[in-house]
Amino acid sequence: MLEFDSERNRRAGLDPGKITAGSNKMVHWICNHCPKGRPHLFVASPHKRIGSNSGCPYCAGKKACICNSLQSLYPALAAEYDTAKNGVGPEQVLPRSRKMASWKDANGHTWEQSPGQRTEPSHKRVYMQNHLKNQHPEQARTTHATVETGS
């Protein structure tokens, strides 16, 4: 259940008795619905929580956590996620994110692609799609012609 996080709010000097439902003051909340048993801690105004009926951003898939991150749901892909170039680790990224990211495979090949593209079954790794075309254009044209004509 989503709850007002009394302890963190008290440490921040926030008195729950003085915060109204329509307040725009940012307060601490805690959600205990994480499937991994860890509480989701987040900050939102009571006005936003009540007025727009917003729930836990982690449960809603708007923020990454231990139960919904690229790292936890797609560990093989997370191993290719280039943390150094991206500035954040795969544990902080949502698998369906459309934000472009840098990737690096075990052979050192690098490419740019969104996590959402990597996790959708209809998408192949961009590097592999473009490798033949970029490195061996004549073979790519022949292969493309063969596929198109069926011969």
Q: 77 and 37 in one domain?
A: no
Q: 128 and 74 in one domain?
A: yes
Whole-prediction pTM value? 0.70
pLDDT reading at 123 higher than 70: no
Residue 132: give the domain boundaries. 70-149
Q: 88 and 116 in one domain?
A: yes
| Residue 62 covered by a domain | no
- Rounded to a whole number of angstroms, the distance between the first and last alpha carbons of the chain is 61
pLDDT tens sequence across 6-44: 999 999 999 888 898 889 999 999 998 888 888 999 999
| Residue 65 covered by a domain | no
Q: 83 and 135 in one domain?
A: yes
pLDDT reading at 143 higher than 90: no
Average pLDDT, the chain: 84
| Residue 130 covered by a domain | yes
pLDDT tens sequence across 45-69: 998 888 777 789 998 899 999 899 9
Q: 78 and 135 in one domain?
A: yes
Q: 101 and 34 in one domain?
A: no
Q: What's the number of domains the chain is made of?
A: 2
Q: 75 and 15 in one domain?
A: no
| Residue 15 covered by a domain | yes
